[in-house]
Amino acid sequence: MEESKRNLLDEEAKASLDIWRYVFGFADMAAAKCAIDLKIPEAIENHPSQPVTLAELSFAVSASPSHLHRIMRFLVHQGVFKEVPTKDGLATGYTNTPLSRRMMITKRDGKSLAPFVLFETSPELIDPWLRLSSVVSSPANGSHPPPFDSVHGKDLWALADDNPCFNDVINEAMACHTRLVVPRVAAACHDLFEGVATVVDVGGSTGETLAILVKEFPWIKGFNFDLPQVIEVAQVLDGVENVGGDMFDSVPKCDAVFVKWVLHDWGDKDCIRILKNCKEAVPPNIGKVLIVESIIRDQKKTMIVEDRDEKLEQVRLMLDMGMMAHTSTGKERTLKEWDFVLNEAGFARYEVRDIDDVQCVIIAYR
């Protein structure tokens, strides 16, 4: 009984602190966006003396010293930057960390996710988050418009078509994610590209994925496949042909299909339709479809889970909330849910490969 009381008191004490995370949870995103907007990580990285004092940093980024001090105090506390003594020991200054370097908007090194932060903190995406309750409480027949549509009067893709600046933000976010994850896929799936002459990237956008794949596997001819208006602004790349079309109608013939972070935007019915078209595009005996998506754990953990695995799972669950806020029917899927859509699409078998990231690779064989 005494132990039960102590546990209850511990839970109450923890809850009294945890609730503040939900009161001011947005502060993390807002402060990170501020650092990216001001290019604070770049200013620190490029400064001739290290660490960089507040006076030096405020001059470098043209910021108010008092306000910048408060932003940096918060971000140092959150572990984004470090504050250390200067060489003479008379003051303190700031240095970058591996995390702050991932907030460099000017870096295209396969680590920075700064464009993704700017995408997720854009006004177009913030407002729908505040209307999650409307879609959760709506009838199962979906009579209430999704949060994004409710705010903007159209879905995300239609808004992007009408707003070139917002479309650029989306493309940059997707490109930075591609630079992060596709090299991991290539390393984990090198054997799958042996003997493959042609690859179609479905929903390939600007062509960033195939740029990486044809460099890694130079014998491949890549076809960057997306809607005609997307292909109009796609990169011109050696070894890659840009092809306009609609994945709901058909997918160009090839030896292998690559589809990354596309299927989670759609409900099961649409997902199955896309997968069927992908299956029809590849040869009957050796054809395969490489799907780069998240897989949410089917049930609560029943054993000790590594801290990194637990943090990756948290990202997947947050991503699923994003799907609910920003798409009409999209969702992250469990392995059981992936099994359903793959079987319904008619694939003979599939396997899953871990790439030690938020996503994994599902290889579906025709």
Q: Any idea what the Cα angle at residue 137 is, between residues 132 and 142, rounded to 5°?
A: 90
At 94, list the tokens: 């700031």
At 343, list the tokens: 């079987």
Q: Tell me, what amino acid is at 20?
A: W
Catalytic residue among 144, 152, 190, 264: 264
C-alpha to C-alpha distance for 295 and 278, rounded to whole angstroms = 20
Q: Are 207 and 235 in contact (CB under 8 A)?
A: yes
The full length of the chain comes to 366
Q: Are 260 and 279 in contact (CB under 8 A)?
A: no
Residues in Cβ contact with 109 at an 8 Å cutoff, skipping those fewer than 6 apart: 179
Helix (H, G, I), strand (E, B) or coil at 292: strand
Catalytic annotation on 264? Answer: yes
Q: Tell me, what amino acid is at 210?
A: L
At 14, list the tokens: 């923890």
Instruction: Supply the DSSP symbol for 134.
Output: H
Q: Are 161 and 154 in contact (CB under 8 A)?
A: no
C-alpha to C-alpha distance for 321 and 37, rounded to whole angstroms = 25
Q: What does residue 290 show for φ and ψ, rounded to 5 degrees?
A: -95, 115
Residues in Cβ contact with 268 at an 8 Å cutoff, skipping those fewer than 6 apart: 337, 340, 341, 344
Catalytic residues: 264
